[in-house]
Structure 1
Amino acid sequence: MSKNISFLDAVDRFKNHLLVERGYSELTIKEYNHDLFLFLDFLKDKYNFKEDFPVKQIEKHQVIEFLGNIIIVQENSAATRNRKLYSLRSFFKYLVRNELLDSSPAASIQASKTEQRAEPIYLKMNEAKKYIKSIEKSDSSYKLRDLAIVKLFLYGGLRVSELVNLDLPDIDFDDESIKFYGKGNKERYVPLHNDVIESILDYLPLRDNIDIKDPKDEEALFLSNQGRRISVRTIQKFVKKYAKSAGLRQASKITPHKLRHTFATSLYHQTKDLKVLQDLLGHASISTTQIYTHTDARQKKNAIDKMEDF
C-alpha cells in the first residue's frame, strides 16, 4: 500500500537517493530536479494542482500531455521529450520500488523516435590546431587557464562536470596523471599528455594570484575570475567563444562535449583500441563507446582509392 506522500517530499527523497545511493553528480541531480519542477509547473498551470498535492494524484494522461507540451508548445526536439520522460520514469520507478506509490503513470509511455546521427560532431586535426591557436592569440587575462582546460578535454576526454570538480591533489605530477571520481562516483585514472602537464604548470602561477573567496574552493584546480571554483557555464561560454574566433565550421555547436568527442575520435583512429577508450572515457558499457568507430570522409575516400582496378 502506498503512502500519502506529497510531490515535493517525493522529489526530496528521490534527489537524496540519487546522491547517496546512486552517487550521481550535483550537475546530474540538478538536471533531474529541473525536469521534475518543469512537470510540477505544468500540473499547476494546466490542472490547478496545489504546491503540496499528493504524488498519487498524478495520472498517465497528464504525463502524456506534459510530454506533448514539450514538443508542440515549447518546440523542443524529440530527444528533449525523451530526456524528460526518462527523468519521470526514474522518479516514479523509485517511488514504486520504495512502496511510496502503487504504480508508475509513466511506465508504459513510449519514447519518441529520434533522428539518428551518423557520427558525433568533432574537430578535425587542422581545426583543433586552429582552435588552440585562437586561445593562444587571445587577449584574455585567463587564456592560460582556458588553454589548460581545453587541452584536458582534447588530450584527456574529461566530462565538463568532472573537470570543474578537479582539485589540486587530483594531479600527480610525478606519475603525470590525474585520479578523480567521475560519473556514477566511479574512480577514474587518466594519464596526462606532456602538453597538458606544461599547460597546467603555466597556469598555476596565475591561479596562485587569485583571491579565493570561499574556503571550500581552496583546493579547486580551476578558478573563475571571481575567485570561486569555475562553473560549467563559464567553460561552455569560452569554449564557444574560441570556436567562433577560430572561424570553425559549426562554431555555434562546439561545446565541451564536442571537445570530448574530438579526443575520443582521435584516440580511436590512432589506436583502434575500443577497450582502452572505454576505460579513459569512463563508459559503463562498451556499446556507448562504439559511436567512435565511425570513419570520416577522407578515410572512406582513401580506402576506395586503394582498391585494385577491375
Structure 2
Amino acid sequence: MESVTFETAVYRFRRHLLVEKSYSGLTVKEYTSDLNLFKEYLKENYDFSDNFAVPKINKFHMAEFLGDIVIEKENSPVTRNRKLFSLRSFFKFLVRNSYLEENPAEDIETSKTERRAEPIYMKTNQARKYLRTVRNSSSRYKLRDLAIIKIFLYAGLRVSELVNLDLENIDFDDESLKFYGKGNKERFVPLHEDVITTIIEYLDNREEMKKKDDDAEKALFLSARGNRISVRTVQHTVKKYAREAGLRNSEKITPHKLRHTFATTLYKETKDLNVLKDLLGHQDISATQIYTHTDPEQKKDAIDDMPDF
C-alpha cells in the first residue's frame, strides 16, 4: 500500500474528478474547498503538520470537524451533509486506489433534521470535579495545567488562541487578555479573579522553567521541553485529567468541549447573545445561537413550575 500525504491525495483526487469523472471545474473547486477546510481544521485543532499522511485521519477527527461546521460556523445541516459527501467521495477514492484500507467517513450519518446540533458540555458539578482533580494532581506542571483549563472554562478561548498567547497579552491592570484571534480579529476577554490568581501562581513556577528559544521566552505557556506549548500537548492534558476525574466519556473531553462549557454556562447566567458572541470571537451571531438550547433539567423544572389547572 502506497503511503501518500494529504496534499498529494487531494491532487490525485482532483485529477480523477476532472479526467475520469468529467466533473466541471466549479464542482471540483467545491470538493477541493471542502478538503482544504478539513485540512486546516486538523492543523489548527489537532496539531497536524503540513505534510501529514492520510492514514493519520480517523473517524473521530471527521465527526468533530462536521460537528463544528454546524456549531462554530453558520453552516446549515444541509451544508454539513454536502461536506460529508465530499469527504466520503475522497476517502472512497483512496480506498479504491489502495491508499487506505478503509473509509473512515463511511459510517458517519447525515443530518436528518434542519435543527442545529446542541454542543456537548460539562455540567457545573462535572466541571468542579474536573478542576478539583487538577488541583489535587501530583504533576509538576499542575499550576500550568490549572491555568490552561481555567482559561478554557472561564474565558472560552480556542485552543489555537491559547497556545499562541504571549506574556504581553495579559493585562493585569484591566484583568484581561488582549490578543489577535481567529481571522486576525482583535479580541478583548476579561478574566475572572480566580483565573488571574491562578496565572500569577503559575508565572512564579514558569520563572524556574528553562526556555529553549526566543519564542519560548515570550510564550505564556511552556512545554516540558521548554518550547511554546503545542496544541497536541494541551489536548492530551485536557483528556488526561478527564480520565483521572472519572468523567463519563472522558475521551470526548477536548479543549473545544471546555469552550462549549464556558459558552453554555455564561449564556445560562446572562441570556445575552451579543456578549457571548463577542467573548467567543464569532463573526456572526447565528453561530452563537447554538448556546440558547435548554438541557433536560431545565425543561423538567419548567414543567414542574407550571400552575395547577
Alignment TM-score, normalising by the size of structure 2: 0.70
Deviation at 1:217, TM superposition (A): 2.2
For 1:229 and 1:57, the matched residues in 2 are separated by 46
Structure 1 alignment gaps of length 5 or more: 1-33, 48-54, 87-111
Aligned residues: 241
Partner of 1:121: 120
Partner of 2:204: 205
Partner of 1:82: 83
Deviation at 1:82, TM superposition (A): 1.5
Question: What do residues 99-153 of structure 1 show as CA deviations (whole Å, max 9, x unaligned)?
Answer: xxxxxxxxxxxxx943666411000000000000111111111010000000000
Partner of 2:145: 146
Partner of 2:278: 279
Secondary structure of the equivalent of 2:183? helix
Question: Contact (CA 8 Å) 1:35, 1:84: kept in 2 or not?
Answer: no
- Moved beyond 2 Å, runs of 4+: 34-38, 40-44, 55-67, 73-81, 83-86, 112-118
Question: Is the aligned partner of 1:270 residue 2:269?
Answer: yes
For 1:274 and 1:40, the matched residues in 2 are separated by 42
For 1:149 and 1:38, the matched residues in 2 are separated by 36
Question: Contact (CA 8 Å) 1:152, 1:196: kept in 2 or not?
Answer: yes
For 1:42 and 1:127, the matched residues in 2 are separated by 44
For 1:272 and 1:152, the matched residues in 2 are separated by 21
Deviation at 1:35, TM superposition (A): 5.4
Matches within 5 A, 1:1-310: 36-40=7-11, 42=13, 60=23, 76=59, 79=66, 82=83, 85=86, 113-114=110-111, 118-310=117-309
Alignment TM-score, normalising by the size of structure 1: 0.69
Question: Contact (CA 8 Å) 1:156, 1:280: kept in 2 or not?
Answer: yes
Secondary structure of the equivalent of 1:224? coil
For 2:163 and 2:133, the matched residues in 1 are separated by 22
Question: Contact (CA 8 Å) 2:84, 2:110: kept in 1 or not?
Answer: no
Deviation at 1:281, TM superposition (A): 0.2
Seq. identity, %: 58
Deviation at 1:216, TM superposition (A): 2.3
Deviation at 1:194, TM superposition (A): 0.4
Structure 2 alignment gaps of length 5 or more: 39-54, 67-79, 88-108
Change (3 A) 1:138 1:58: farther
